[in-house]
A and B are shown apart, each in its own frame.
Chain A
Amino acid sequence: MSEMANMDSEGIDAVRMTWNVWPRTKVEASKCVIPLAASIAPIRPHTDIPMLPYAPLRCKTCSAVLNAFARVDFMAKIWICPFCYQRNHFPPHYAMISETNLPGELYPQYTTVQYALQSFPDPNNSNATQLPPVFVFVLDTCMIEEELEFVKSALKQAIGLLPEHALVGFVSFGTQVQVHELGFSDMSKVYVFRGSKEISREQVLEQLGLGSAGRRPTVGYPKVLQNGYANTGVNRFLLPASDCEYTLDTLLDELQTDQWPVQAGHRASRCTGVAFSVSAGLLAACLPGTGARIIALVGGPCTEGPGTIVSKDLSEPVRSHKDLDKDAAPYFKKAVKFYDSIAKQLVSQGHVLDLFASALDQVGVAEMKVAVERTGGLVVLAESFGHSVFKDSFKRVFEDGEHSLGLCFNGMLEINCSKDIKIQGVIGPCTSLEKKGPNVADTVIGEGNTTAWKMCGLNKSTSLTVLFDLSSTERSNVPGAANSQFYLQFLTSYQDPEGKTMLRVTTVTRQWVDSTVSSEELLRGFDQETAAVVMARVTSLKMETEEGFDATRWLDRNLIRLCSKFGDYRKDDPSSFTLNPCFSLFPQFMFNLRRSQFVQVFNNSPDETAYFRMLLNRENITNAAVMIQPSLISYSFNSLPQPALLDVASISADRILLLDSYFSIVVFHGMTIAQWRNMGYQNQPEHQAFAELLQAPQADAQMIIQERFPVPRLVVCDQHGSQARFLLAKLNPSATYNNSSDIAAGSDIIFTDDVSLQVFFEHLQRLAVQS
């Protein structure tokens, strides 16, 4: 269902903006409270997007790409760039152009087009230069036998699913890092790196015999020209999946848990950091431009060498949010700095780090977040490699077909925008390329200081949030017809899963409005859902980057300001307060955001928080909105499945509730339903309807699970069961033990002192109307 929603709300462009009309001045914009921002899904597929098999035309001054908004003089064979108004001549091969013979990019409905580029134009052999994708699996071996078996079988399955030509490498680690030379035929051969020592990329190359200077042909391995890597020697380590599947299977069969002894009362010695360094170093030997990903399967915290997040002594717990706040996490900053350097290296190489972490305790996602997010890697956090959250997600990564993630490599996003629009930065899985330009804002939010970003890895659901600002200088030119519109152009080049280079160009236009004259127009251009998500992302970012940032207060203040500005009320009369329908849902979003895991981090570990935030940042608006404010559907005999209020009052003994909070999906059986089910009525033919009722939420849950990555955790529970907490935690506590006397039978109460939505509203109204 969310898919459908996406289609509608994002359309062909997959761009959603907090404000669809922009105030003209920076001052006005700041009064709008909610920042000017756009959420884009750069390569979201859409059936209507035309594929153009030629290279785009670029404006010679601003290098924006020719688009449907350009004015074209067919006679003179000239087009005028909507961004800089530069007049450009069409090249000779556009000679045929006319009003009735337009190239795809000029069709007005094709605001988004896709170009298929060829990096090496060779009409005869277009496939020859395509580099196969590279997958380096990095497997933690410090885990119990059982977990290792789970992860091994997942790995084997994954390797079987890889395209035959994809190159595969394998690295295992524990106390030390072992790089397996899959191309060595005489026996199993591994290069062992010490886990306690930081190692530079040059050292890795040198020590693996891949150094540029002393490239040592290694023993026993015939030099084979293969995939164009022959001269680097890296093909000793990276073999086509079809060639090494057997080797890898055997290797995995023999692979044991880490042999180094673990002292009693200590954590296993695990050098995740060095493993990443080494893997990244190995990939450095690949030709530039190769799409490669490091797929890390981690079963615990890094305790050895660089990137350590906690000491080996079990008496010292892994840092909590409280420790981070109090600066009592001695390893944290150092580790983050280390992973940041890994990120830089990977980005420079254009390679991706995917993190699959499965452990009951934290593994250091909070520290590694930077490396994963900057490279556009995938991240999945589960509590066991045997859990479906991991198993199914992992499988999904490699699966082809309808639910394929569409993993692409080497993405680069460029943004062109009309004069006076400044880009503050991007929140999401990308890295700034530090490409300066006139459209770069002075203030930076997220990855800024640039008009181009690298996305080493991206997939069809990857989303980014671009934050804009307006030029602070008063506009010199009088608002006129010509520039009542402004334009934004998003250029995304990338390698698709087949290795082909594509360029997607999305050009959107929106209107300027003079908000001093009329806020009516502004109001209508407000996208509450997007605004809520952007606020959530900005809040998360601030919480991570600003010391002592009080998120709740900040959100409250902004909400009050917003309501003050856009609400209808009489001063100091709370009861007179009303909100325009365009804003009506926003306060509730904020209420839920305040209570969400993004703001109330203390219920979670830093790892979980990091994980949630990474997904918040990379998902589309609809999904992100669900993370903030879960959807609740109620199933009962009396009616069709229908959305229910996210309120404890929705609980009823004869209902089944389906809660989708994105990370988990809860099927909650009311007390009566649970009793019936326990008595087995659903198995009796006369209670077919009951069986169907039981089945319906399950089926819906499965539908959601299938389209989602990572696979959410499915919780099936009964009222008053222990697992019911997964539902109760998300509900508005309209009924608590404080007012339990007046609740309906069969309903429930929540044991909390949290304020309910109603109370929140009351306060909001009161504060908003204050003069």
Chain B
Amino acid sequence: MAAPVPPGAPRPGANARQQSPHPNFNPNFQTNPNSLADNMQNMNLNRPHSMPNSGPRPSPFGQPPPFPQSSVTAGFPVASPPMSRPGPPPGMVGRPAVIPAGPPQTTLPANVPPGRPVGLPVSHPPPFGSRPPPASLSSSTGGAVLPSSAFPSSGVSSASAAPPPSGARPSSFVSSSPLTGGPAGPMSRAPAGPSSNGPPAVGAGALPGAPRFPPAAIVSQPPVGPPPSMMSARAPAQAPTMRSVLGSSAVSSPQTPPLPSASSPFPAMTQARPPPLGSPYGPQTWSMQPQQGTQPPHIPGSTHAQPPRMFGMPQQALPNQAMTNIPPAMGQPGAPMSGSSKIDPNQIPRPIPNATPIVYETRHGNSANPPPPATSDYIVRDTGNCSPRYMRCTINQIPCTADLLTTSAMQLALLVQPMALPHPSEDPIQVVDFGESGPVRCSRCKGYINPFMKFIDQGRKFICNLCGFTDDTPRDYHCNLGPDGRRRDADERPELCRGTVEFVASKEYMVRDPMPAVYFFLIDVSMNAVQTGATAAACSAINQVISDLPEGTRTLVGIATFDSTIHFYNLKRALQQPLMLIVPDIQDVYTPLETDVIVQLSECRQHLELLLENIPTMFQTSTTAESCFGAAIKAAFLAMKSTGGKLLVFQSVLPSVGIGALSSREAEGRTNISASEKEAHKLLQPADKILKTMAIEFAEYQVCVDVFVTTQTYVDIASISVIPRTTGGQVYYYYPFSAVSDPAKLYNDLRWNITRPQGFEAVMRVRCSQGIQVQDYSGNFCKRIPTDVDLAGIDCDKCILVTLKHDDKLQDGSECGFQCALLYTTVYGQRRIRVTNLSLPCTNMLSNLFRSADLDTQFTCFLKQAAIEIPTCPLLQVRDHVTNLCINILLSYRKFCATVSSTGQLILPEALKLLPLYTLALIKSRGLRNDGRIDDRSFWFNYVSSLSTPLAIPLVYPRMFAIHNVDSKDGDESVLPPTIPLSSEHVCDDGIYLLENGEDALIYFGSSVDSSILQQLFGFTSVDEVPTQFVMQQFSNPLSKNFNDVVNVIRQQRCSYLRFTLCKKGDPSGMLFVSCMVEDKNANGPSYVEFLVHIHRQIQMKMS
């Protein structure tokens, strides 16, 4: 393992996937145990797709990915070698990317065009690879273990189903791919240019092609023009999509479509021009859309107010535009809009997923390439900047001055996800070993060597890109410069040519030997937990997951249970049976043994399994209702203190006794309504400081706590969550816990938790170039000193928001560098430093900022900040704040960038055209509603705190699919059916819909669903028979199979098993579904159209 590049440690029996080891793997992975992730990737690997490099790469995992379920693996091989994935080639389905691939953005920056790697990628396998194979997730607990056979029964048919589809996929990809990449980009730009303001909203845009062209035409942009034909084909369908490609799009010029002139204003425009280049691709671009197009015909209606008009589209071209043009009077609120019918709701900007992955090079021609949307599917080529998966900025150009930033009203922040799961087709992160001396660093700011450090004086010195200091090159690192001023060895040295590398840490980076991988399981066995089946579910999940723990002597495990006392177990092999050790003093706890509570897995496996089988029965007759959660974790912590490690807690009731006992505050709040109105948010704050103090201590000793809350009552997540948040863990919430449907998810969550790529005892710091400094970090960690964050545990799902501020002016034309260094220990006990570099151009142009704004990142940043405010501010204030953030940005754009003609139009920057929609969705989200349970809200904002960008969007703006007709599509399309806008207009009474947000999934039954469809999909015939608890099953019919495929694809994409709730009209469950229709007007907020009107009015007011 020591070798940096080593192949992955062979997983145990894992399924040996003979297939190829993929080149792609990250080095880490190799070394890392991150089995799951790896596996996933491996799967992908199988894809035909061969990376050029691949051959040479060390295949990290030679071994087959250890899939969780053997069964799965089995399935795969068979399936298709090409597509490793089980059925659904995940890749296919695009995330609901907001914007089709790059186009929009790219567009603007004319520069870009060349950048994109366009066409090539095609061959690539679908990106999704990264996600966990559905299979693994799928089966219900029991099933999981079993071979494939199990699956069917379990309901999740992932495995079996998978194969076939895969076959299909390929084709699809191919086709799409070609088109994809390239074209999109260029195209968009072109149009953009012209339209200058791209009113993204405009449906017209949707057809990227279409709209653009028109504009183009008008504008005279030749480039675009291209494949009209293509367009046409797609057009119909897509047209609506918003993509309005105009990159710039932002504002639509009012009616005057022909804003050619307008366009000029935009810098973008000008750039756009280069279009010509783009044009070539153009055609292809379209192709991409086709797929999307088919479904999503949302037409971006620019709604009301003059809304957004499509940029590019000259009104004329599209009928839609016309509509848009006629902006109802702003003044008139909703009425006008709807009434006038001028605003076509179908034309409002909505996200459109892109179907095939694009290949994205992080830098091109020595300048940064703006990244594709976080929610889209892409494959990164690290050409100097890091993959946007690891780090992305809210704006892809850095404002030179703080004033400029303030003017834009946008946030400047980084979202850092240092261990993010790469796409399986991506190259692994390379590991660099500098030996005992450790990596080369700037002697002043301690920044790590990176591609942006400039070597001078024949390579004898180098200038730090972060602090500007000139350092001497260490003698043994010296190398002469080539004619281009770069070191001659720059391309051979990953640290000089890659945005992300890993350094092997030398002794200097270790305070102690790297810690072993310690897993401590703590299970609630109080009466409620046992009786609801939560205890049994936890034991069973743990039992199954044992085999997924890293092999070897460095893996230590321990287990304890607790009710009103804490029960440890001595698992030492010498004993004939485990010994239960009770710690009864729950006010002042301690560990009952020094050594044998945590034992090498290899030594205690049998005892552990036996014990896990026995625990549920052993406590069956318990009548102890109390639970001493706080004391129990403290005791477990004491047992782990010497090493640190992961503490996985399964908690089922409100902790009522011992240290950190909590009270049923929620109930108290209810009885005292008048007080609670004002102080409602106080219930979302931790009850007291005890748990916080404990958490800080845990973090100090590198204990990372994850809490699995399997409950049917209030447990005060607000208080409990402090522990995982501070220690780099997370809360999993199963409410109301069902012994029927939840164990499978619990198992899969636990499994992913343990097998995903992760590190221990980590410290992270972000460094910035002079002029910018880190203002604050937020996420799940403990911060003891201002500059660093301590992460007792860090994994691929954790994301940290790093807000930035200016402390000086930057120079226009220069680049601003960001470097995130993560020092951590792999599960195999290697100390590594993962260094992630991003270098972005600085600009003085406000319009550049808008053009290069990254919607997903900005919104995620909003979301996280709102989540931080929730517990401390009254709800109204939080909502207003969010709305104002949105308004201010749009206002700034309107004021300074848009070429305005009529004040009656709402003009949106192209890059941010979905901001209003997302903002509205956020306001209506669970965390910002006051009708929810306190625990639900607490969970929501805690969940958000570590949420990654790709998952943040669906959390507030879920995807909805129709599943009553999943068999109707063509075999060669993506498994996922088209997404449907979240509006009840799109929900029919005879339909069944699946709505998912990455964590939960709702299945909604219209009131008049065809009983045969019900029978085929669910095994019952009437909506009245809809059960309250749901276990996925696969029946032997194509509909059911497709449905299962869909679900599995989603699971893969989300790395989550999804928690299903069945909803039917008229039930509370139905209400739940309805409340997710964010575009509808309801108690929590206006409709989408109304909201746009509201925003417009606000902007107008402020303008005047």
**A interface, CB within 8 angstroms of B:** 175-176, 178, 181, 184, 186-194, 197, 199, 203, 206-209, 216-220, 250, 254, 256, 259-261
Q: How far is the CA of A260 from the CA of B623 in the complex (A)?
A: 33
Residue ranges of B at the interface with A (Cβ–Cβ < 8 Å): 525, 563-565, 568, 574-585, 588, 590, 592-596, 614, 617-624
| Seed contacts A187-B614, A218-B622; 13 additional CB < 8 Å A-B pairs | A181-B582, A189-B580, A189-B582, A190-B580, A190-B581, A192-B568, A192-B592, A207-B565, A209-B584, A216-B624, A219-B525, A259-B595, A260-B594
A254 touches B582 (CB 8 A): no
For A254, the chain B residues whose CB sits under 8 A away are 574-576, 579
CB–CB B588/A250 < 8 A: no
Q: How far is the CB of B345 from chain A (nearest CB, A)?
A: 60
**Given A187-B578, A194-B590, A216–B623 Cβ distance below 8 Å?**
yes
Contact status B624-A208, CB under 8 Å: no
List 26 contacting pairs A-B, 8 Å CB cutoff, sorted by A.
Answer: A178-B581, A184-B580, A187-B577, A188-B579, A189-B579, A189-B581, A190-B582, A191-B581, A192-B592, A193-B584, A193-B585, A194-B590, A203-B585, A206-B584, A207-B584, A207-B585, A218-B622, A219-B618, A219-B619, A219-B621, A219-B624, A220-B620, A220-B622, A254-B576, A259-B595, A261-B595
Instruction: Please indicate the chain A residues that have their CB under 8 angstroms from the CB of B590 in the complex.
Output: 176, 192, 194
| Chain B positions within 8 Å of A219 at CB level | 525, 563, 618-619, 621-622, 624
Cβ B594 vs Cβ A175 within 8 A: yes
Chain A residues whose C-beta falls within 8 Å of the C-beta of B584 in the assembled complex? 191-193, 206-209
When distances are taken between beta carbons in the complex, the residues of chain A under 8 Å from B576 are: 250, 254
B621 lies within 8 A of A220 (CB): yes
**Is the Cβ of A216 less than 8 Å from the Cβ of B564?**
yes
Sorted from nearest, which 8 A-B pairs have the closest CB atoms? Answer: A207-B584, A192-B592, A189-B580, A219-B622, A260-B594, A191-B582, A194-B590, A188-B579
Assembled-state Cα–Cα distance A187/B568 (Å): 12
**In the complex, what distance in Å separates the CA atom of A547 from the CA atom of B577?**
55
- What's the least CB distance linking B9 to chain A, in Å? 32
- Residues of B near A188 (CB, < 8 A) are 575, 577-580
Nearest opposing residue in chain B for A269, CB measure: B594
Bound-state CA distance A189–B575 (Å) is: 13
Chain B residues with CB under 8 A of A193: 584-585
User: Which residues of A sit under 8 angstroms from B568, Cβ to Cβ?
Assistant: 192
Shortest beta-carbon distance from B735 to chain A in Å: 26
Q: Which residues of A contact B578 (CB under 8 A)?
A: 187-188
SS of A interface (majority)? loop
Main secondary structure of the interface of B (DSSP, over half): loop
B127 to chain A, nearest CB (A): 50
B588 and A197 contacting across the interface, CB-CB below 8 Å: yes
The distance in angstroms between the C-alpha atoms of A260 and B592, with both chains bound, is 10
Q: List A contacts of B592 (CB < 8 A).
A: 176, 178, 190, 192
B579 lies within 8 A of A220 (CB): no
C-alpha spacing A186/B622, complex, angstroms = 13
What's the minimum C-beta distance from A327 to chain B, rounded to whole angstroms?
A: 33
- Chain A nearest CB, measured from B567 CB (Å): 8
Verify A187–B579 contact, CB threshold 8 A. Answer: yes
> Would you give the shortest CB distance from B910 to chain A, in whole angstroms?
64
Residues on B with C-beta less than 8 A from A187 are: 577-580, 614, 618
The minimal Cβ–Cβ distance linking A740 to chain B, given in whole angstroms, is: 59
Residues of A within 8 A of B595 (CB): 259-261
**Distance of A175 Cα from B580 Cα, bound (Å):** 17
Contacts of B621 in A (CB 8 A): 219-220
Q: Give A191 to B567 CA distance when docked, in angstroms.
A: 8
CB distance from B661 to the nearest CB of A (A): 14
Distance, CA A197 to CA B594, complexed state (A): 17
Residues in B whose Cβ lies below 8 Å from that of A259: 593-596
In the bound complex, CA of A194 to CA of B593 (Å): 10
Once bound together, how far apart are the Cα atoms of A193 and B582, in whole Å? Answer: 8
Identify the interface centre among A199, A206, A218, A250: most chain B CB within 10 Å of its CB. A218
Query: From residue A671, how far is it (CB to closest CB) to chain B in Å?
Result: 54
In the complex, the chain B residue whose C-beta lies closest to that of A180 is B579
A261 to B618, CA, bound (A): 32
Report B1011 CB to chain A, min CB distance, Å.
48
Q: Which residues of A contact B619 (CB under 8 A)?
A: 219-220
> Which residue from chain A places its CB closest to the CB of B595 in the assembled complex?
A259
- Inside 8 A of A175's CB, which chain B residues have their CB? 594
Chain A residue at smallest Cβ distance from B579: A188
Contact between chains at A192 and B618 (CB < 8 Å): no
Report how far A186 CA is from B561 CA in the complex, Å: 15
A181 / chain B contacts, CB cutoff of 8 Å: 582
Pick the residue among A192, A197, A217, A220 that contacts B582 (CB under 8 A): A192
Cβ–Cβ contact B614 & A186, under 8 A: yes
Q: How far is the CA of A260 from the CA of B516 in the complex (A)?
A: 20
Q: Which residues of B contact A208 (CB under 8 A)?
A: 584
CA distance A157 to B113 in the complex (A): 91
| Alpha-carbon distance between A193 and B565 when the two chains are bound, in angstroms | 12
| CB closest residue in chain B, given A185 | B618
Question: Which residues of chain A come closer than 8 Å to B614, judged between CB atoms?
Answer: 186-187
Q: Chain A residue with minimal CB distance to B614? A: A186
Contacting residues, chain A, for B574 (C-beta < 8 A): 254, 256
- Smallest Cβ distance from A196 to chain B, in angstroms? 8
Q: What CA separation (Å) do A178 and B581 show in the bound complex?
A: 8
Bound-complex Cα distance A220 to B614 (A): 11
Q: In the bound complex, what is the Cα–Cα distance between A254 and B585 (angstroms)?
A: 25
CB of B580 within 8 A of CB of A194, answer no
Nearest B-chain residue to A217, judged by Cβ: B623
Given the complex of chains A and B, what is the CA–CA distance between A256 and B563 in angstroms? Answer: 28
Q: Whole-angstrom distance between the alpha carbons of A220 and B563 in the complex? A: 14
For residue A186, which residues in chain B have a CB less than 8 angstroms away from its CB?
A: 614, 617-618
What residues of A have a CB within 8 angstroms of the CB of B564 in the complex? 216
Asked whether, in the complex, the Cβ of A194 is within 8 Å of the Cβ of B585, the reply is yes
Q: How far is the CB of B604 from chain A (nearest CB, A)?
A: 14
Once the chains are docked, how many angstroms separate the CA of A203 from the CA of B580? 21
Residues of B within 8 A of A216 (CB): 564, 623-624
CB A752 to nearest CB in B, in angstroms, measures 50
B541 → chain A closest CB, angstroms? 21
Residues of B with C-beta under 8 A to A203: 585
The chain A residue sitting closest to B590, CB to CB, is A194
The CA of A51 and the CA of B578, in the complex, are separated in Å by 53
Query: A residues within 8 A CB of B565?
Result: 191, 207, 209
Cα distance, A216 to B621, chains bound together (Å): 12
Q: B525 — which chain A residues lie within 8 A by C-beta?
A: 219
Looking across the interface, which residue of chain B has its beta carbon closest to that of A214?
A: B564
Interface hub of B563, B565, B574 (most chain A Cβ within 10 A)? B565
* Chain B: minimal CB distance from A223 (Å): 10
A482, chain B: closest CB distance, angstroms: 65
- CB-defined contacts of B593 to chain A, threshold 8 Å: 192, 259-260
Task: Report B638 CB to chain A, min CB distance, Å.
Answer: 10
Q: Cβ of A190: which chain B residues have Cβ within 8 Å of it?
A: 579-582, 592
Instruction: Assess the A192–B594 pair: CB atoms within 8 A.
Output: no
CA distance A260 to B595 in the complex (A): 7
- With a CB–CB cut-off of 8 A, which chain B residues contact A260? 593-595
Name the distance in Å between B944's Cβ and chain A's nearest Cβ: 39
**Chain B CB within 10 Å, residue with most, of A175, A181, A191, A261:** A191
Residue of A nearest to B622 (CB): A219
Q: How far is the CB of B263 from chain A (nearest CB, A)?
A: 76
Instruction: Give the docked Cα–Cα distance between A184 and B596 (Å).
Output: 21
B613 to A: closest C-beta gap in Å: 11
- Give the shortest distance, in Å, between B674 (CB) and chain A (any CB): 35
Q: Which residues of B contact A206 (CB under 8 A)?
A: 584
A299 to B83, CA, bound (A): 69
Bound Cα distance from A342 to B596, whole angstroms = 32
Chain B residue at minimal CB-CB distance from A195: B590
Distance of A249 from chain B, by nearest CB (Å)? 12
Q: Which residues of B contact A218 (CB under 8 A)?
A: 622, 624
Residues of B within 8 A of A197 (CB): 585, 588
Q: A192: nearest residue on chain B (CB-CB)? A: B592
Question: Whose C-beta in chain A lies nearest to the C-beta of B594?
Answer: A260
Closest to A204 in B: B584
Set A192, A207, A209, A256: member contacting B581, Cβ < 8 A: A192
